[in-house]
Amino acid sequence: MAEPAYEVAVVIPVRNGAETLGEQLRCLAQQQDAPAFEVVVADNGSTDSSAALALAWCGGRMPVRVVDAGARPGVAFARNTGVAAARGAAVAFCDADDHVSPRWVRAMADGLAEFDAVGGPVRLDRINAGPTIAGMETLSTGNRSVFGYLPYAVGASLGVRREVYLALGGTDESFPHGHEEVDFAWRLQHAGYSLGWAPDAVVDYRQRADTRGVFRQSFNYGESSLQLWARHAPTHSLAPVSLKGSIRNVAVQTLRAHRLLDPQARLVQARALGWNLGVLAGHLRYRKFGAPPAPRLMEQPSRLTEVAR
Evaluate whether residue 248 is within a structural domain: yes
Alpha carbon 57 to its chain's center: 23
Pair 121, 157: CB distance under 8 Å: yes
Find, among 298, 241, 304, 236, the residue nearest to 80 by Cα.
298
Specify whether 87 is located in the same domain as 143. yes
Alpha-helix residue ranges (DSSP H) falling in the chain: 18-29, 50-55, 75-85, 104-112, 162-167, 180-190, 211-232, 243-255, 266-283
Q: What is the pLDDT of residues 73-114, one digit of tens each?
A: 999 999 999 999 999 999 999 999 999 999 999 999 999 999
Specify whether 191 is located in the same domain as 238. no
Q: Given this model, what pLDDT does residue 3 score? A: 59
CA atoms of 217 and 221, how far apart (whole Å): 6
Q: What is the pLDDT of residues 24-42, one digit of tens each?
A: 999 999 999 999 999 999 9
CA atoms of 21 and 19, how far apart (whole Å): 6
> Average pLDDT for residues 192-219, to the nearest whole number?
97
Specify whether 43 is located in the same domain as 186. yes
Q: Strands 64-68 and 117-119, how do they pair?
A: unpaired
- Going by the DSSP 8-state scheme, the letter that residue 287 receives in this structure is I
pLDDT of 305 strictly over 50? no
Residue 300: exposed, middle, or buried by beta-carbon count in 10 A (0-12, 13-18, 19+)?
Answer: exposed
Q: Given this model, what pLDDT does residue 299 score? A: 77
CATH number at residue 28: 3.90.550.10
Q: What is the pLDDT of residues 111-140, one digit of tens each?
A: 999 999 999 999 999 999 999 999 899 999
User: How many domains are contained in the chain?
Assistant: 2
Specify whether 131 is located in the same domain as 240. no
Specify whether 215 is located in the same domain as 176. no
Task: Give the pLDDT band of residue 1 (cuts 50, 70, 90).
Answer: very low
Q: Given this model, what pLDDT does residue 50 score? A: 97
pLDDT of 198 strictly over 90? yes
Specify whether 130 is located in the same domain as 68. yes
Evaluate whether residue 309 is within a structural domain: no
Specify whether 156 is located in the same domain as 39. yes
Residues β-bridged to residue 119 = 158, 197
Specify whether 218 is located in the same domain as 95. no
What does pTM read for this prediction? Answer: 0.94
Specify whether 224 is located in the same domain as 195. no
Q: Given this model, what pLDDT does residue 300 score? A: 65
Specify whether 116 is located in the same domain as 189. yes
Report DSSP letters for 116-153, one per residue.
Answer: SEEE--EE-TTTS-GGGGTTS-SB--S-EESTT--EE-
pLDDT of 301 strictly over 70? no
Task: List Cα–Cα distances, 290 to 220, 227, 231, 284, in angstroms.
Answer: 17, 10, 12, 7
Specify whether 161 is located in the same domain as 12. yes
Q: Given this model, what pLDDT does residue 152 score? A: 98
Specify whether 199 is located in the same domain as 218. no
Pair 180, 98: CB distance under 8 Å: no
Q: Given this model, what pLDDT does residue 61 score? A: 85
Residue 148: exposed, middle, or buried by beta-carbon count in 10 A (0-12, 13-18, 19+)?
Answer: exposed
Q: Given this model, what pLDDT does residue 59 score? A: 82
Residue 179: domain span:
6-208+296-303
